[in-house]
Structure 1
Amino acid sequence: MITHNLRTLLATAALAALASQASAQDTIKIGVTMPLTGSVAASGNYVTNGARIAADVINRKGGVLGRKLELVIEDNKSNPREAVNSAEKLILKDKVPVMMGAWSSTFTLAVMPKLVEYGVPMVVETASSGKITTAGNPWIFRISPTSSMEAVAFGKQLDGMSPAIRKVDFLSVNNDWGLGATAAFKKMLEDKGVTVGRAETMAPDATDLSAQLAALKNTGADTLIVTSGIEQLTLAIRQAGEQRLPQRILTTGGSFPEPLLKASGPKGYASQHLLFFAPWDITRAKYPEVAKEFADAWTERKWELPGQSEGFRGYDAILTIAEAIRIAGKAEPAAIRDALWKVKIKGVNGDIAFAKEGPAGKESGQNEAAVYVVELKDGKVQVK
C-alpha cells in the first residue's frame, strides 16, 4: 500500500520533472562548437566568453520571443574530427536549431557537410578561408572577413606604414587558414608592387619555430607576415626577438599575442597586428555604445582586456543569431536560415548584414568587417 507520505513524494517529484521539462522548453538553444582545449584554446575560450556575455545581455532585456537564450557549448578540442563530433551532438542530441562555430577554417570546413545533411544554419564567427563561402553551402553565414577581404582592407592602409613595406616574407600555420591567408596577402602585395620573398610554414601544434625563423633571417625582407593563433604568434615574436630578426612582424587573422603584455620580448622590439576590434580604444569602433556594453560586461567579469579583441566575435555572433530568431518568429532551423538574410544590426565590429557569395541557388552569407592595425612594443599597445 502506498502511504500518504510516499504519494506526496511521488507527486512532488512528478511536478519537479514537469517543471524542469517546461523550463527546458522555455529556452531557445544555440549550439556553440569552439576549441576550449588544445592548440588554439586561448582564442576559443575568449570567443565563448563573448558569446556568454551576449546571451546574458539579451536575457536581461527579456530574451527573444519571450524566451531566454541557452548556449549549449561543446569543446571541439582544436581538432577537425572532434569539431564534426561536437556538431553532430549539438544537432542530434541537444536539438539546437542554430549554431555558432567553429573558430578555425579547418574545423569549420569539416563541420559544413553536416549542416547540409541535417539542415541547420551556422554563424561563422572567425574562420577566414575563402572556401567556406564559395563551396555552395546555403546554411553558412560568416560575420568575420575572409583572408582576401582582410588583405584588401590592409592594402588600403599600406601607404601609411612607416617604414614603408618593400619586401615581405611569410610564416603561416600549415592549414586552410594559414595557407589561405598567405595566398591572399601575396596577391594583394604583388598587385601593389611589393616584392614577395620566402614563405615558411609551421605545424598547428609546433612549440619551437627557431628553424623557420633562422631560414627567414637573411632574406632581405623588411616585413614578416605571421598567421596563427595566440599561442604561436606569441612564440614567433619572442623567438624572432631573440634571434634579432631584422623584419618587422605583422600578424593577420585578428588574434593578439596578449602574453607579451605581461612579459614582453626584447626591449624596443615592435610587432603590428591586424585586428577586428581594438579594445584599447573603443571610441574607434563604428558604434562605440555597442562596443562599450560588451567591454563593460567583460571588465565586470574581471577577464583580461586583450581577450576582448577575439571575445567580441562570440558577442557579435550571438547578437546576429538572436536577431535572426526574432525575425523568424520561431526557433526552427529553416526559418532562422531564411531570416539571417534579413539581419541588419549594429555589432562591436560595425554593421552586420549578409551578402550572397557562392554558386547560384546555394549561396552562403558573407559580412564585410572592419580591420584595425595595432602596434605592440615593450608591453604597450598603440592603435594606429
Structure 2
Amino acid sequence: MLIRTKAWTFAAALAACAVLPAHAQETIKIGVTEPLTGAVAASGTYVTNGARIAADVINRKGGVLGKKLELVIEDNKSNPREAVNSAEKLILKDKVPVLMGAWSSTFTLAIMPKLMEYGVPMVVETASSGKITTAGNPWIFRTSPTSAMEAVGFSKLVDGYSPAIRKVDFLSVNNDWGLGTASEFTKMFKSKGIAVGRTETMSPDATDLSAQLAALKDTGADTLIVTSGIEQLTLAIRQAAEQRLPQRIITTGGSFPEPLVKNPGPKGYASQHLLFFAPWAIDHAKHPEVAREFSDEWNARKFDLTGQTEGFRGYDAILAIAEAIRIAGKAEPKAIQAALWKVNVKGVNGDIAFVKEGPAGKESGQAVPNIYVVELKDGQVAVK
C-alpha cells in the first residue's frame, strides 16, 4: 500500500509539472522595471500602480488574444546598475517579450544596450532625455515627451505670464534628465529674448537644498525652473518659501509635489507645474472617457488623487503595449516591435502613436503628448 501511494504521488507530481508550462502560456507577460525603493520611489510606485490598473481593465474586458496580461514587476531601486540587472532578469529569467520602464532617463539609457543585445522592445513611459530616441536604438518606443518637446509646448504659454518672464534661473537634479531639461529650456528662453541666469544642481538623493536656494536668492531672476522627482520638488518649494525666494517656481517633467496638497507651505506661496495629465480637470483631456475610466479605477483603490499625474504614464504605456500585441497576433519580441509602429490608441494623455526619431534604419519611436500647466497654492490646485 505504501509503495502504491508513493507511485501515485510521483505520477501526480509529474502530471503537475506537465501542466505548468501550459498554464504559463495562458498569460502574456509584460516586464516592468520601475524605482519602487530609493530616491524616486514615490514616482515609480505611482507609475507601477497605473500599469497594474491598465492590466486589470484590459483583463476584465477579455485580455489580449484571448489571454490575460501578467505584469512581471521588478524594482530598479532608483539606480542605473540595478535597472540593468532588473531588465536582464525580466528578459532572461522571466522571458518577457516586451518591457515598460524605467522612469529616469539615466536608468533608461543604462538599459538600452541590453535591449539591442537581446532584441526586446521597451516602451518608455517617463524618461525625457533626447538621447533616448536619437541614439539609434530601434527597440525603444517612448510615450512621454522629450525635454525639447516640453520646452516647445511651454513656449506657447510663456508670453501669457503676468508679470512677464524676463529672467530665469534653474535648479536641476544632476543627471541626464535634469541637465537635459535645463539645456532645452535654456534654448527656448533665449530664443524668446528671455535672459538665463544661474544654474544650480542637486544630487538625486539630496535631502537639503538650502545652499543651492541661498545661491539663487539674489540673482535678479523672476522665475526659477525646477526639475526633479516628487520628493525633491516638495523639498525645494518648502525651503524656497522658508528662505523667501522672490522667483516664481515652475517645475518640469510631469512630477507633482503631492505632499504640499495635504500639508501646504506658507500661506499665499504658489508654485506652477508642467504636467501631462491633470486629474482635477478630466474634461480637459483629449479623450475624457479614457481619462475618467483610469481616474475612477485609481480612486476606487484609494490611491492619492494627485498620484494620477504620474500613474497615468504606466496606464498609457500598457495600453500601447497591449494594442501592439493585439496587432502582432503573438507575444514575440520582434513581432511586437514591428506592431508598435502601427499602434494608434486613445490614452489618458491623448492619442498614442509613434513617429520616427534617430538615424535612418535605426529609428526609435516617439509619441507626441499633451502638456498642461497647474498652479498649487495653499493646498488648492487650479488648471491653467
Question: Shorter-chain TM-score: what band?
Answer: over 0.9
Deviations 1:260-290 (A, max 9, x none): 0111111100000000000111111000000
How do residues 38-77 of structure 1 correspond to structure 2 at under 5 angstroms?
A: 38-77=38-77
**Which sits farther off after the overlay, 23-32 or 140-149?**
23-32
Deviations 1:312-337 (A, max 9, x none): 00000000000000000111000000
Q: Distance in 1 between matches of 2:249 and 2:17?
A: 58
Q: Which residue of 1 aligns with 2:213?
A: 213
1:223 and 2:238 are equivalent in the alignment = no
How do residues 11-22 of structure 1 correspond to structure 2 at under 5 angstroms?
A: 11-22=11-22
**How many residues of Structure 1 are paired with residues of Structure 2 in the alignment?**
384
How do residues 116-131 of structure 1 correspond to structure 2 at under 5 angstroms?
A: 116-131=116-131
Opposite residue 375 of structure 2, the aligned amino acid is: E
Q: Distance in 1 between matches of 2:307 and 2:145?
A: 19
Q: Distance in 1 between matches of 2:371 and 2:267?
A: 27
Q: Give SS of 1:126's match.
A: coil
Opposite residue 339 of structure 1, the aligned amino acid is: A
1:106 and 2:106 are equivalent in the alignment = yes
Opposite residue 265 of structure 2, the aligned amino acid is: G
Q: Distance in 1 between matches of 2:268 and 2:299?
A: 29
Q: Give SS of 1:168's match.
A: strand
How do residues 1-384 of structure 1 correspond to structure 2 at under 5 angstroms?
A: 3-384=3-384
Shift of 1:9: 3.3
Shift of 1:22: 1.8
Opposite residue 82 of structure 1, the aligned amino acid is: E
Shift of 1:166: 1.0
Q: Give SS of 2:159's match.
A: helix
TM-score (norm 2): 0.98
Opposite residue 18 of structure 1, the aligned amino acid is: A
Q: Distance in 1 between matches of 2:352 and 2:240?
A: 37
Q: Distance in 1 between matches of 2:7 and 2:328?
A: 44
Q: Distance in 2 between matches of 1:213 and 1:361?
A: 45
Q: Give SS of 1:235's match.
A: helix
Q: Distance in 2 between matches of 1:308 and 1:55?
A: 16
**Which sits farther off after the overlay, 158-167 or 85-94?**
158-167
Deviations 1:53-72 (A, max 9, x none): 00001111111111111100
Opposite residue 343 of structure 1, the aligned amino acid is: V
TM-score (norm 1): 0.98
Q: Distance in 2 between matches of 1:98 and 1:153?
A: 30
Deviations 1:38-89 (A, max 9, x none): 0000000000000000000111111111111110000000000000000000
Q: Give SS of 2:25's match.
A: helix
Shift of 1:193: 1.0
Shift of 1:144: 0.3
Name the % identity: 80
Q: Give SS of 2:279's match.
A: coil
Gap regions ≥5 residues in structure 1: none
Q: Distance in 2 between matches of 1:145 and 1:162?
A: 27
Deviations 1:89-140 (A, max 9, x none): 0000001100000000000000000000000000000000000000000000
Opposite residue 246 of structure 2, the aligned amino acid is: P
Q: Distance in 2 between matches of 1:9 and 1:161?
A: 76
Shift of 1:249: 0.3
Deviations 1:329-364 (A, max 9, x none): 111000000000000000000010000000000000
Q: Distance in 2 between matches of 1:139 and 1:124?
A: 10
Q: Distance in 1 between matches of 2:324 and 2:268?
A: 47
Q: Distance in 1 between matches of 2:31 and 2:224?
A: 37
Q: Distance in 1 between matches of 2:366 and 2:194?
A: 28
Q: Give SS of 1:224's match.
A: strand
Q: Distance in 1 between matches of 2:28 and 2:177?
A: 32
Shift of 1:25: 1.3
Deviations 1:224-283 (A, max 9, x none): 000000000000000000000000000000000000011111110000000000011111
Q: Distance in 1 between matches of 2:313 and 2:253?
A: 12
Q: Distance in 2 between matches of 1:291 and 1:336?
A: 25
Q: Distance in 2 between matches of 1:10 and 1:245?
A: 73
Opposite residue 70 of structure 1, the aligned amino acid is: E
Gap regions ≥5 residues in structure 2: none
Shift of 1:2: 5.3
Q: Distance in 2 between matches of 1:332 and 1:64?
A: 13
Q: Distance in 1 between matches of 2:286 and 2:161?
A: 22
Opposite residue 261 of structure 2, the aligned amino acid is: L
Opposite residue 305 of structure 1, the aligned amino acid is: L
Q: Give SS of 2:240's match.
A: helix
Shift of 1:164: 1.6
Compute the RMSD of aligned alpha carbons.
1.0
Q: Distance in 1 between matches of 2:296 and 2:8?
A: 48
